[in-house]
Amino acid sequence: MDAAEIRYTSTHEWCKIQDGSILIGVTPNALAALGDVVYIDLPSAGDDVLKEIPFGEIEGTEGIKDLASPLDGMVLDVNVRLAQNPDLMSKKPLEDGWLIRLKPDGPLVLDNLLSAAAYEAMTRKKRAR
């Protein structure tokens, strides 16, 4: 997956437009902070997701992260492989570690999200504190 095609939220989700839908996952930075992933709670296909309202969570050995979407929409697909193998998230978070595929309720626009460079600058600033 080309990093230039990916946009980021300030809450450490990554988003990629693919075939008129959006793949949503968790950034490598957030996964590193969580430690080893031990549990993932995701919605089911057909569930509605609301912008910035938690739709699930990831539990790691070092903490828990709520999952949020940058858009309202309906879950088209869930990465069921993560239930059996949560390590996929840490090994290839931007490829095999996607969580859900979302069909947006409105226009598929991610312009309000961070570019890779802006996300990296944000995380560098937070680490420096």
pLDDT tens sequence across 104-122: 998 887 888 999 999 999 9
Least confident among 26-30, 45-49, 85-89, 115-119: 85-89
pTM over 0.85: yes
Whether the predicted pLDDT of 129 surpasses 60: yes
How far apart, in whole angstroms, are the C-alpha atoms of residue 39 and residue 83?
8
Share of the chain above pLDDT 90, in %: 67
What pLDDT, in 10s, does the model give residues 54-85? 999 999 999 999 999 999 999 999 999 988 88
**Mean pLDDT of the 34-53 span:** 94
What pLDDT shows up at residue 71? Answer: 92
Is the pLDDT at 4 greater than 60, yes or no? no
Q: Domains in the chain, ordered, with CATH? A: 3-124 (2.40.50.100)
Q: What is the C-alpha to C-alpha distance for residues 36 and 105, in angstroms, rounded to an integer?
A: 34
Q: Which of 32-36, 50-54, 101-105, 121-125 has the lowest mean pLDDT?
A: 121-125
Chain centroid to Cα 101, Å, comes to 10
In three-state secondary structure terms, 53 is: coil
d(CA 74, CA 108) in angstroms, rounded, equals 13
